[in-house]
Amino acid sequence: MVYAGDLKSPIRKDVRVRVPPAPPAISKCVRAFFRPPFSTSLYEGWQFASVDGWTHRVDTTSRYTCSVFRQVVLVALALSASAACRDDVRTVADAGGGAGADATVPPEHASPTAAGVAYFADIGSGLTGPELVGALHRKLAADHVSLSFDALYDAYQALDQGREGCTGIYDFYSSKCWQPEQACGNYTREGDCFNREHSWPKSWWGGATAPNQHQDLVAVIPADGFVNNTRSQLPLGPVISATYTSSNGSKRGLCNVAGTEPGSACFEPPDALKGDFARIYFYMAVRYEGEFSCCAETAVNRADLVPWQETMLRDWHAIDPVDIAERNRNEDIFGIQRNRNPFVDYPTFVDRIDDF
């Protein structure tokens, strides 16, 4: 089977992508199909086809056809893509490729930094399951230098520099690039100001501000105040019938995932950040394992992810691999908070833990 890519931004014309014999580090513009194990039951209303163990999404706006003989993927999508995305596609297409190339290549995660390798060097390669969770928890907790909540504003200025062209404060919920003086404040619409968003809502642990979770730089992210308020305490999940879509594609709307109450709402981040949020949640589940005394929510029970949420986040982790921007953010957090997200440095840790 030809390795099938999924364009992050759709394009008007058909694009033929040839897979080279020695696969390059394919840009995040060209994405993998959902890797097994993948639960189609989580995505009600979508149609899927399976080829050689890989799951393909088929809907009214995209279709994928594979030619084994020519090792060509024809990706036909209805909407327009950015010039950058088209350039990424040409880069892969121009790389060449002949018959017989091994094209079933998963999306590549950015390699860990030297500091990341050194930090986790004492985590045994044979640890799995609860033993790995315990070892990571003890290390992350012992090394954690707690900031004040106000100090997050200064920390944000050191993170995500240059990410998507932003030289100010990068926003996870909108396309706005903020300046420090634009912290909220009052807001009436998107773009008014930014605030410190608990991506794992603080009500899910009961709202305590001590000792560390309230100001954990891994999980408390800069976000547009209006969009933050629009999300409120909603779980992450795929959205249909969006009632609000932000400028970076974040959505609030009807939750389209098995395991949630019928008619309930979810918040869906843009595709380019889904893996980032998944790895933040894996970090929270491990860092605060056994520390939260509250609460049983739709997506979590104390620091444990409920099954539907965990399954979905594993999918997001697979289809949105660690990129350089996320890796750099993890490195900068380490410089401030002195611990780091293990699932950014070592994405394979996710596969070694069977229950978050």
The verdict on 38 and 149 lying in the same domain is no
Find the domain containing 30 and state its range: 5-93
Could you give the percent of the chain with pLDDT greater than 70?
70
- 212 in a structural domain: yes
Grouping H, G, I as helix, E, B as strand and the rest as coil, residue 328 is helix
> Which range among 28-42, 53-67, 96-110, 313-327 has the greatest average pLDDT?
313-327
Q: Is the pLDDT of residue 115 over 70?
A: yes
Residues facing residue 55 across a β-bridge: 34, 50
223 is written with which tokens? 């976000």
Q: Give the Cα separation of 252 and 124 in Å (integer).
A: 41
Report pLDDT digits (tens) over 219-261.
999 999 999 999 999 999 999 999 999 999 999 999 999 889 8
pLDDT at 220: 98
Last residue of a domain, one of 93, 122, 150: 93
Reported as a pLDDT band with limits 50, 70 and 90, residue 108 is: confident
The whole-angstrom distance between residue 239's C-alpha and the CA centroid of its chain comes to 16
CA atoms within 13 A on the CB side of 57: 24
For residues 353 and 310, what is the distance between their CA atoms, to the nearest angstrom? 11
Compute the average pLDDT of residues 15-20: 32
**Does residue 34 sit in the same domain as residue 158?**
no
246 and 327 in a common domain: yes
- Quick one: 73 and 121 in the same domain? no
The pLDDT score that the predictor gives to residue 106 is 52
Does residue 120 share a domain with residue 54? no
Residue 29: pLDDT band by 50, 70, 90 thresholds? Answer: very low
The reply to whether 82 and 177 lie within a common domain is: no
Query: pLDDT-based confidence at 70, cuts 50/70/90?
Result: very low
Give residue 331's pLDDT band: very low, low, confident or very high (50, 70, 90).
very high
Question: Do 201 and 129 fall into the same domain?
Answer: yes
Answer whether residue 44 is part of any domain.
yes
Is residue 266 in some structural domain?
Answer: yes
Domain total of the chain: 2
Domain boundary among 63, 93, 123: 93
List of residues 6+ apart from 191 with CB closer than 8 A: 174, 176, 224, 226, 247
The H or E element that residue 266 is part of is strand 265-268
**Does residue 165 come out as left (phi exceeding 0), alpha (psi in the -120 to 50 range) or beta?**
left
pLDDT for 265-299, tens place per residue?
999 999 999 999 999 999 999 999 999 999 999 99
Q: Is the pLDDT of residue 65 over 90?
A: no
Between 61 and 222, residue with greater pLDDT: 222
Are the beta carbons of 321 and 110 closer than 8 angstroms? Answer: yes
- pLDDT tens-digit series, residues 294-328: 999 999 999 999 999 999 999 999 999 999 999 99
Residue 143 lies in a domain: yes
Residue 99 lies in a domain: no
3-state percent breakdown (helix, strand, coil) of the chain, nearest 5:
30, 20, 45
Amino acid at 262: P
d(CA 323, CA 321): 6
104 in a domain, yes or no?
A: no
| CA trace torsion 287, 201, 176, 188 (10° rounding) | -160
Cis peptide before 37 (omega within 30 of 0): yes
As a whole number, the mean pLDDT across the chain is 78
Query: In terms of domains, do 223 and 158 share one?
Result: yes
The verdict on 86 and 133 lying in the same domain is no
Residue 36 sits in the same domain as residue 119:
no
Q: Is residue 100 in some structural domain?
A: no
Domain identity same for 206 and 347: yes
Residue 98 is assigned to a structural domain of this protein: no
State residue 94's pLDDT score: 29
CA 96 to chain centre: 30
Indicate if 258 and 311 belong to the same structural domain. yes
Point out the least confidently predicted range of 50-64, 181-195, 215-229: 50-64
pLDDT value of residue 254:
97
Given a cut of 70, whether residue 155 has pLDDT beyond it is: yes
